[in-house]
Amino acid sequence: MLVRQAEEDGHGMTWPVEDIEPTNDIGFLRVVVDELVEAGFDVGVFGGWAKELLGLIERRSHRDLDLMVVGPDIDTLDAFVRDRHEVVAKRLSHKRAFILNGILVELFIADRGPNGWTTTFWDRTEHRWPPGGWVECCGLPVASEDVLDSYERVYETLHADCQRFGAV
């Protein structure tokens, strides 16, 4: 878990990090990715952070952190998430989520099979990810542009399924 360190305010006062506004910055991203890698997970940056790191969108603030975990042992992943303020409503066939330092971290799950990566959304809709997986960017494993594009192409259908099945 993130080390809770004290920060000096310039007036000789020390404040614990949890009393400071949560910051979803590159440092936070690196800490979370490192934690998952140290726990033995094959993880890469996904979503808005991936698009930003690849230069596909302008720099911006991020409300959450989307990561993809490939081929995890689900029991191990569940234990990892439970230890970090799990968001139980987001415990789905295709994702897990937790809150860390006030920031939502969503873990999209991809299974590793003989024909590549797949994710089954809502226990119903299988998505086959294109080859290419991770690319290295800024010292981090990041979902490739092809992986991000494949998700963008099916997003509307997946969102409609979410509404139809009453999922989050």
CATH of 6-165, one of 3.40.50.2300, 3.40.50.1970, 3.20.20.70, 3.30.460.40: 3.30.460.40
pLDDT, tens digit (0-9, with 9 covering 90-100), for 105-138:
999 999 999 989 999 988 888 899 999 899 999 9
Report how far residue 107's alpha carbon sits from residue 65's, in angstroms, rounded to the nearest whole number: 9
Report how far residue 18's alpha carbon sits from residue 4's, in angstroms, rounded to the nearest whole number: 7
Strand partners, 128: 118
Could you give phi then psi for residue 148, rounded to 5 degrees?
-65, -45
Whether the pLDDT of residue 43 is over 90: the answer is yes
pLDDT of residue 167: 55
Q: Helix (H, G, I), strand (E, B), or coil: what is residue 37?
A: helix
Whether the pLDDT of residue 5 is over 50: the answer is no
Q: Which of 137, 142, 160, 63 is nearest to 104 (CA)?
A: 63
Say what the pTM is: 0.83
For strands 125-128 and 116-121, give the pairing: antiparallel
